[in-house]
Chains A and B, each alone.
Chain A
C-alpha cells in the first residue's frame, strides 16, 4: 500500500526566501506525480504535473522534481511571497492503479 510523507509538516519563512518542500513515497513505482496548493476552505489547485517520462517541471517560481529510484519529490519555491501561504500537497498516481495517494501536506506561511 502506497504511503506518502511530506516534510516538514509546517514551515514559516520570511518573504523573499527560497524554500524546498519534500515528499517521499513508500512505493517508488510512481507513474505521475502532482503538486497541489490548497487555501483554507478551498479546493485544490494543480501546480505541477510530472508525467512518467519526465523528471522535473517548472512553472514561474516553482520547480518540482521527481527521483523515481528513491521515491522522492521536491517542490522548490523561489523568492517566496506572502501570497504563497497555503498548504502544499503532493500526490502520486500508481502505475497499476487509478487513484492519487496524497501526503498530509506542508502548511507554508510566508511572513511579510
Chain B
C-alpha cells in the first residue's frame, strides 16, 4: 500500500506564474489535508477536503490560493501569481476518517519562487 504521494517534489516558478501541487492520498483514504511549512517555521494548516467537498478552508489565504479534491484523481493545491513569500514546503496528509483517524503525510512539495 503506497503512502501519500505528492508531486512534484520540487518546483521552481518565477513571480507571477502559477504553481500546481498534486497529492494522491493513501488507498482507501477519503480525507485530505494541506499544510504549509515556511522556512524555519512550524506547519500551518491550510485546508481540509473530502471528495468533491471543501470542509475547512480557514487556513487558506483569501487570494491566489485554491484547492480541490475531485471525484477522480488527486487533490490539487493551486497558487496563482506566485510571490516570493509563497516559497515553502507544502505537505499533504490523508486519513481514513475525520477526527478519529491517524494522519499520514507525504514527502512534501518544495516550491521556490524566483
* A→B interface (CB under 8 Å): 31-32, 34, 36, 41-46, 49, 51-52, 89, 91, 93, 95, 97-105
Contact status of A43 and B43, CB under 8 A, knowing A93-B99, A97-B56: no
A45 proximity list for chain B (CB < 8 A): 105
Shortest CB distance B8–A (Å):
14
Whether A102 and B102, one on each chain, are in contact in the complex, defined by CB atoms closer than 8 angstroms, is no
Shortest CB distance B92–A (Å):
9
The bracket for how many chain B residues form the interface is 20 to 34
Contact status of A100 and B33, CB under 8 A, knowing A32-B100, A49-B102: yes
Contact status of A103 and B42, CB under 8 A, knowing A46-B105, A98-B98, A98-B99: yes
Whether B99 and A102, one on each chain, are in contact in the complex, defined by CB atoms closer than 8 angstroms, is no
Shortest CB distance A53–B (Å):
11
Bound CA–CA A39/B29 (angstroms): 25
Partner of B100 from A43, A51, A91, A103 at Cβ < 8 Å: A51
Output the nearest chain A residue to B3 by Cβ-Cβ distance.
A43
B42 proximity list for chain A (CB < 8 A): 89, 102-105
A52 proximity list for chain B (CB < 8 A): 100
Interface string of B30-47 (1 = CB under 8 A from A): 000101000001111100
Interface string of B95-110 (1 = CB under 8 A from A): 0001110111111101
Contact status of A99 and B48, CB under 8 A, knowing A32-B99, A43-B91, A43-B107: yes
Bound CA–CA A91/B55 (angstroms): 20
Bound CA–CA A103/B37 (angstroms): 12
Shortest CB distance A31–B (Å):
6
Bound CA–CA A104/B48 (angstroms): 21
A31 proximity list for chain B (CB < 8 A): 99
Whether A101 and B45, one on each chain, are in contact in the complex, defined by CB atoms closer than 8 angstroms, is yes
Residue B73 interfacial (CB < 8 Å): no
A36 proximity list for chain B (CB < 8 A): 105
Bound CA–CA A41/B55 (angstroms): 29
